[in-house]
Each structure stands twice: as structure tokens, then as C-alpha cells.
Structure 1
Amino acid sequence: MSRFWLPALLVVALLSGAARAEVTLGLLANKGEGDVAADWQPIADDLAKTLGQPVKVVAVKDDAELARRFAAKEIQIARTNTGTALTLVEQGNGDIVARLALTGGVAEYRSLLLVRNDGPASLAALLRDKQRWTIAMGAPTSTAGYLIPAYHAFAKQNVLPESFFRSITTGNAEDGFRALAEQRVDVAVCNSDDLDKLRETYPRDFRNMRVLWQSPSFSYDPLVLNKALPAATRQKITRFFLGYGRSGAHSAQEKTRLYYADQLSGFLPSSNRQLREVTDLQLYFGLFKLNLAKQSDAERSASEKQLYRRYNQLVAVLGGPK
């Protein structure tokens, strides 16, 4: 008799465990990983109640690590920048379902160049002195921390950061801010969202800095769901975030949690099409670097075709031409 009952009990136990499998929310940290994870945990706890299963929060500074763990299905929900989101979507591992909105409903940001008050007077003055300055930027995969300033501030002035600056250090917005404050670099890349938070955290250091340059506005960070999630779970998670802090008996408490998590007002509907801004920038900056490369005409032509081939593939993945 037991030979027949034991497998059945095991099946029930396995199904029960699968139903309560842990969901992991992965965050790209713009400050200390522990602080970011703790700030988001109350929202994760509310999501766990909605899903009826545990939700763990992990925060990492390295976007490549977040992409790797997402691809390995260790992360099911990713709050990340648009550059990393493009990697997740391009690899076929995830889809954007929402984007973050800041306090006041602001859903856009600008990349910034910061200098100390005694630094160069303007971007033009900065660009007059090649190999004089040092800069703190994001990793090349970062949209706000690298790609936007690399193209809009430098490439448009026929400048490649890697050859212009005496040295480049990489890190997140807070890393660059601290490096500038401590006079370890002359210029730091930041963004309008993180600068508001850093101003509150380091008011004395901020008073010794100023914004040298700002970019056009871009859509704020997306929320990406792993395609490995069951469709019903994906729908629950999407409804949870789009409705969080909007209405209901607990909306006031939820709004407070949103603010302390990331100074957010909530989440707006979005899709993979949001990433068209990034694909266009990548193409333009890629073509600029190609013009500077030491290649034969045949090599340059092949490289250009490769850039456009990837661009057209991405446009198709992201919903086609506008």
C-alpha cells in the first residue's frame, strides 16, 4: 500500500513547493546595495501577499551581473536601466511591462555632467583641453551614465571620451559624485533623478558643485519581467505594480513606501518599444566610433552593414518602425 501512497504524497509536496517558489526582484543599485534592497523590501512584501509566495530582493551595482542572473532565471523581476533592459529583451529573456515615475509623476530624466565650482566654466571650455581632465562615468552598458553623455555631450563635438580624457573611472552615480567631491576626478556623470537624492544626502558636497551640461530628456527606467514566469504570474505582477499606490485602502501607505524606495510616485504602463531611444543612440554612437576607426574601406563598409543589421533586428524585436 505504501508503495503507491508515497509517490502521491511526494507529488503533492513538490506541487505545493512549486506554487510557493520564491520570486526574486533584482535592482540595479545607484547607491549601496544593502540600502537599496532594504528600501524596496516593503514593496516586495506587499507583492508577496498578492502572489501568495515569497519575494526576495537583491541589489547589484554591476549591470552585467544583473543580466547574467536574469538570463539564468535567478531574477524574475528587474528594475534596471534602459541599456541593461535592452540586453534582457534582445537576448529573448524578458519583456518590459512598466516604467518608473518619480515624485510628481515625472517619467523622464536628463543625464548631467558635474564639475566642482572651480572647474571648467562650460562644456566648450572643458573640450579645449584634451588629456587634461579626468572623468567618472557609468559602464559602457549604462544609458544615463555613459551612452547619453558619450553621444550628446562628446560625439556631437567630435570627441571620443576614451581618447579625450586623461583617465576614466567607472561606477554608479553616487560613486562618481563622491569621486568628484573628494577631488579624485574633475568631471562626474550623473542624472537629474540621482542628483536630487544626492543633494539631500550630501548637501555640503553639493554646494561645491554645479551642473556643467545636461542632455535632452529620456524615458525613465523600466521594469522587466522574465519570460520564464508563468503567464498568470506575469499578469498578477504587472497589475500589482501598475496599481500600486494608485487606489484602495492601503494606497497612502503604498505611496510612502514608493517614496522611500526610490522617491517614486508609481509605475506607468510601458513596453519594449520604450527601448527605441536606446537603439537609436547606440546606432548613432556606433557610426561615430566607426568613422574614427582605422579600417580599410572594405572593413568599414562591413562594420557599417553589421551596425545597421543589428539595428534593424532590434527595431523588429521592439515593435517595428515608428
Structure 2
Amino acid sequence: MKFLRSLFTLAAGAAAFACVATAHAEDINLGVISTDSSVVLKQRWEPLIEDMKKQTGLNVKAFFATDYAGIIEGMRFNKVQVGYFGNASAIEAVDRSGGEVFAKAQHANGDSGYYSLLITNVNSRFKTLDDVFKNTKDLTLGFGDPNSTSGTLVPAYYLFAKHNTPVNTSFKSVLPSSHEANLLAVVNNKIDIATNNSMMMETLKREHPDKYAQVRVLWTSPLIPSDPLVWRKDLPQATKDKLRKFFLNYAKTDPHEKAVMAGITEYSGFEASSDQQLRPIREIVLFQQKQKIESDAHLSDNDRKTQLAALDAKLSALNSAQSKQ
């Protein structure tokens, strides 16, 4: 009898261990890029995360890093399994962190994307872009996180490069920060100009119309694809199925879910996507890299040719992949 009791004890212990292991395998950390302060992000995303727990059965926890790189590195080292990214940071997550785009946000206004902006205070002396580029050496620029699509990558390419104005050398000072911090600095007239995006402006208009009235938009970019959701490729297929089902069906009809999405940043839900949505942003990145190599006086002719040939090969591969779609 004693022997049988020992066997039963061992069996029960093994079963309990198996349950713990299974539960641990279902832990999911959802990383959210730091467009705002962690407190604001938590307020906006926690209701969705609670719904995600209930509907998927997964043990979902939020991961709010102080910068974009924190989410990218978190996914790389499997501290983050699913992430909400901008397109530029999603490229890093895909290339460096074993990530894969599986969905993207839907906008409540029907747009398939959003816009990068250059903004200033309504009472500033800057009425047009010409006013900005007349003498940039006197200006303080609020710029985005280095991995931000709308705060850094798109304005660097479509605005400053087009005006032959390298960001790092053309301004009195450049202050990289979050969209929220840059927006508040413009509202309070603490900096001359800043990059931002249309989603932040819509949120400001809805929540603080008096502060919205303090902002002048000087420039609007071409359309940027909606922000993607990225998961680690090595997630179990059953877990991917749960995540896909949750996100693609969320806020389609339920009033509570619609309110949650509206509270995040004027979103109406999510739709299926893939790594292909990153292609236009990849082209911008590669073009900027080519410009940097072409202007690098420290490179030998052979090194320059070799590096440019490698970038051209990457661009050709992107175009080839697009033609097969």
C-alpha cells in the first residue's frame, strides 16, 4: 500500500508539473511601442488585453518599454511574443527578432493608413515650409524615436532629404522624443517644430480640443501603411490560431470592443496582413543607405561600389518579390 501511495504521489506530481509547463507555454507578452508614456499606453491597451485573456485563454501580459528598441529586443530574446509596431520598427522585428507580420490596424475613418506630419505652434512665426527651410540653424526640431516610421523615417526621406536638409547637421538642436512629448512641446511653445502623425492629432482633437487649436500642420506625408501586429515565427500553431482569431474578429460588432479600439487611437479593429506591407518602407531605408554611402568621403571607390551593389541587389529582390504577388 505504501508503494502504491508513492506511485500515486509521483503520478500526481508529474501531472501537476505537466499542467504548470503547459500553462507556462501559453504565456504571451504583448509589447506596445512607446508612442506615449507607459501610463497612457497602459490605460489605452489594458482593456484590450483583458478581453484577449478571456477570449483566447492565454495568459497575456503587457510589455511597455521606454523606447522602440526595447520591444524589438524583447521579441529577439523571447521576452515579447507579440508586438504592436510601426512599420519601421516592424522591419527590425522581422529581420532581427524572428518576427512575422500577421495583421494590421484598421482606421475608423476608413483610411488604409495614416500620415506623418510636421507641426508647429499656431502662434509661431512659421506659416509655411519655406519659413522652416529659410534658416534651419536657428530652429529646434522635435524628432521621433530612431525606429519610428512617422516620427523619423518618413519625414527624414520625404521631407528633409527632399529639401537637401540632413537632420543631424542642419538644425540648432534635434531632440528625439515620443510623439506625445513632441506634441506637448509644440502645444506649450517649447520647441519650434516637431514631427508627429495624424493619429496623435486625431486623439488630441477628440480629448483636448483647446490644445488641438494650438497646433499648425506645416506638412503632411504620403500615406503610411497601417501599424502592423507582429508575432514570433516560432510560436505554436495553436497559439497563432488563437491570436489570429482574436485580433481579426475583435471590435467587428461588440459595442464594448468598438469603444476599446476607439480609445487606443481612433482604430476600428484589425485586418489580416503580411511582411509584404513593409516593402515601401524597406525601399525608403535602402534608398537612404545608398545616399549615405554615396556621400561617405571615407570609403574607397571599391568599397563604395561593393556596398552599393549589395543595396541594389536588395532593392531588386524587393521588386522581384512584389512582381510575383
Alignment RMSD, CA only?
Answer: 2.2
Q: Provide the residue aligned with 1:222 in structure 2.
A: 228
Any conservation in 1 of the 2:72–2:97 contact (CA below 8 Å)?
no
The one-letter code sitting in structure 2 at the alignment partner of 1:297 is D
Q: Percent of aligned pairs with the same residue?
A: 27
- Residue 238 of structure 2 corresponds to residue 232 of structure 1: yes
Q: TM-score if structure 2 supplies the norm length?
A: 0.90
Match of 2:35 among 30, 36, 61: 30
The answer on 1:168 being equivalent to 2:168 is no
Query: For residues 160-309 of structure 1, what are the structure 2 equivalents within 5 Å?
Result: 160-247=166-253, 251-295=254-298, 296-309=300-313
Q: Secondary structure at the match of 1:20?
A: helix
**In structure 2, what is the equivalent of residue 48 of structure 1?**
53
1:96 aligns with 101
* Counterparts in 2 of 1:314 and 1:90: CA distance versus 1, 3 Å: farther
What amino acid maps onto 1:65 in structure 2?
G
What is the Cα deviation at residue 315 of structure 1?
7.0
Report SS of the residue matched to 1:105: coil
Cα offset, 1:110, TM superposition: 0.9
1:269-296 CA deviation, whole Å, 9 max, x = no partner?
1001010011011012222233332233
Answer yes or no: is the 8 Å Cα contact 2:105–2:228 preserved in 1.
yes
Aligned to 2:115: 110
SS at match of 1:212: strand
TM-superposed CA distance for 1:185, in Å, is 1.6
Q: Secondary structure at the match of 1:210?
A: strand
Q: Greater CA deviation, 34-43 or 164-173?
A: 34-43
SS in 2 for 1:104: coil
Check 1:92–1:111 CA distance in 2 against 1; reply closer, same or farther (3 A cut). Answer: same
Aligned partners of 1:291, 1:201: CA distance in 2, in Å?
46
TM-score by length of 1: 0.91
Q: Secondary structure at the match of 1:43?
A: helix
Tell me the equivalent position of 1:159: 165
Structure 1 pair 119–12 and aligned structure 2 pair: CA distance change class (3 A): farther
Q: Does 1:8 align with 2:35?
A: no
Output one character per residue of 1:159-195: Cα deviation in whole Å (capped at 9) or x when no partner. 2111111111111111111222333321110111111
Change over 3 Å in CA distance of 1:237–1:283 after alignment to 2: same
Q: Give 3-state SS (helix, strand or coil) of 1:159's partner.
A: coil
1:71·1:88 contact (CA, 8 Å) conserved in 2? yes
* CA distance in 2 between partners of 1:300 and 1:125 (Å): 36
Q: How many residues align?
A: 318
